[in-house]
Amino acid sequence: MNVEHQTLNAKSFPWVGRVNAATLSYSKEQRHLVGVSGGVDSRVLLHLLPNLGFRDLVVCHLNHNLRGAESLEDSKFVRRLSRRLGLPFHMETLADLPGTGSLEAAAREARLQFFARAAEHYSISSLFLAHHADDQVETFLFNLFRGTGALDNAAIKAESTVRIGSQTLLIHHPLLEVWKDEICHYAKAHRLKFREDSTNVNRQMVRNRVRHDLIPEIEKQMGRPVKRALLRTIELAANESEFLRSLVPEMQDKPELDVRELRRLPVAIQRRTIHAWLRHQKIKDCGFDEIEGVRSLLNRVQIAKVNLPHGLFCRRRAGRLFLQFPKDKDRKTER
């Protein structure tokens, strides 16, 4: 590849050292996917990674086809950039977005499916994405107000594993501690060209209202910046969650849970054990209310069944908790 060799000045960009530290555990000899929209965030990531030693990259670009000619120009820009850098370019153009939820949720699902197809095509499981500290704060607030079950679940993970069909993606977010203005300063200093996304100011999208309206209003009312304090809260929640996870007993792969064994655990560990069990059983969309519903079966003897999403039930019988699936599903629990 043709690396854009630049001196990563530690004095001008001290955060580059943190990014480098965040990637030390990743193999620089291995091939990685990198998501590139053409915007400033992914453009800076594509400049940083080769200079940190990641030379074997596949540039992945999904044209959501939502902005007509503007989307097409983004695709052309990323294609030319990939060619200039001597990197493989993998692109798809969507005809329609999947699902029936919000536009943002549908676009995210489309991207994950696209990356999974790219991973399968190149026999790669590792993916770099350019989410940064501002994205982290906005995502945290969005999920917090939507009703996340735990603080650490509201945030973007520095590293996460996602299963999409038969494909497993290991997703890395090395820029999570880097602020947007730092990214823009870096791009300007290195004279990096990028594309502006006009939808970033569209107030119809909830995330944009969080970014442009909610956070500025909170800072106005508080009389001070709040984003750095929120980022510290996210970091603390992640550290505490890591400790709590170490206390969760290995029960998630059991078909049934023992009620007496669960009762002996602290409430916080009960919740995490039940959540891990439901996730292992591939029960999606389980938040705080669903987990508390299952937990109520531990002590409320007059209740022996609670509803879960998609027509499923959790039942208690003979001191055990088990899942009951709809009769029209292939997956059944024999009783």
Query: Is residue 287 domain-shared with residue 175, that is, in the same domain?
Result: no
Query: Is residue 198 domain-shared with residue 264, that is, in the same domain?
Result: no
Domain contains 231: no
End-to-end CA distance of the chain: 60
Q: How far apart are CA 27 and CA 44, in angstroms?
A: 20
Range of the domain at 65: 15-212
Determine the pLDDT at residue 333. Answer: 39
Domain contains 126: yes
Classify residue 242 by burial, with Cβ atoms within 10 Å: 0-12, 13-18, 19+.
exposed
CATH code for position 286: 1.20.59.20
Query: Is residue 54 domain-shared with residue 139, that is, in the same domain?
Result: yes
- State the DSSP H helix or E strand holding residue 57, giving kind and residue range, or none if neither: strand 57-63
Q: What domain count does the chain have?
A: 2
Query: Is residue 58 domain-shared with residue 196, that is, in the same domain?
Result: yes
Query: Is residue 287 domain-shared with residue 158, that is, in the same domain?
Result: no
- Spell out, as residue ranges, where the chain has pLDDT lower than 50: 328-335
Query: Is residue 99 domain-shared with residue 194, that is, in the same domain?
Result: yes
On whether the CB atoms of residues 85 and 91 are closer than 8 A, the answer is no
Domain contains 9: no
For the stretch 192-238, pLDDT in tens is: 999 998 878 788 788 889 999 999 999 999 999 999 999 999 999 88
Query: Is residue 207 domain-shared with residue 310, that is, in the same domain?
Result: no
Phi, psi of 272 (to 5 degrees): -70, -35
Query: Is residue 99 domain-shared with residue 204, that is, in the same domain?
Result: yes
For the stretch 196-208, pLDDT in tens is: 988 787 887 888 8
pTM of the model: 0.84
Query: Is residue 156 domain-shared with residue 286, that is, in the same domain?
Result: no
CATH code for position 20: 3.40.50.620
